[in-house]
Structure 1
Amino acid sequence: MPAVPVAALFRIALATILIALLAGLFALRSCGTARKAATEARLAAGQRGAAIESGHDAVQTLGNAQAAERSIHETVKEGRDAINQAPGGDSNDAADRAACRLRSYRHSGKCITLLGPVAE
């Protein structure tokens, strides 16, 4: 077997170390990229869930506001009808009763005397 010069062995060892170092750096970079992709996927899934939940809350809030508005309009219509149907001279009493059914007035002393305490 022919003798290999020390300089050639040194070059082979240096090349092997360099290749191993590059492979390690490539593997480290690949792990970092994979970790970053997993984090981004988790974040995107969380944002999707939050957006859906936010949309659900917005629709529910809008529905609640519309229901409250419908209720107010119905209360006012009933009060207006009661005032219109009241015999002459009793329309003030009908108006007071109609106003006392509205949330802004139901806890006033006059309304509690007229209709009694209202539970909410």
Structure 2
Amino acid sequence: MTTLVTVAQETAAKSGLATFTRGVAAGTLLTLPSYLLHAVGSAGSRIVLAYLVGFFLGLGPFDHVVVSGLQLLFGVWLGGPVAYGDVAANVVIAAAGNLTGGILLMTLTHTVQAKGSRSQHD
């Protein structure tokens, strides 16, 4: 249980900018498989792809709104030096980062790329 409290404490201690930028990276990484899964044909390839993305998410210091929120909630529930205000602030900032990474970086760039590709074929 002390590990959960330590993780919550470290998550709450990060600056808003660090949470946001790590959220952007997490949003980008989580959106990437939706595009990559269309490129692979077999079920085995899809399983490997999902595993690799999950591996990289676990490997890196990313802030996903759900994961970080749960980490902080466990810190509150286990009596750590974390408050519900820390949970709320992290959820808002990480969600903004996740949306920025997922929508702006991935979806917008793929939309522009698809439009450019379509106009070249016209």
TM-score (norm 1): 0.33
Higher relative contact order (CA 8 A, sep 6+): 2
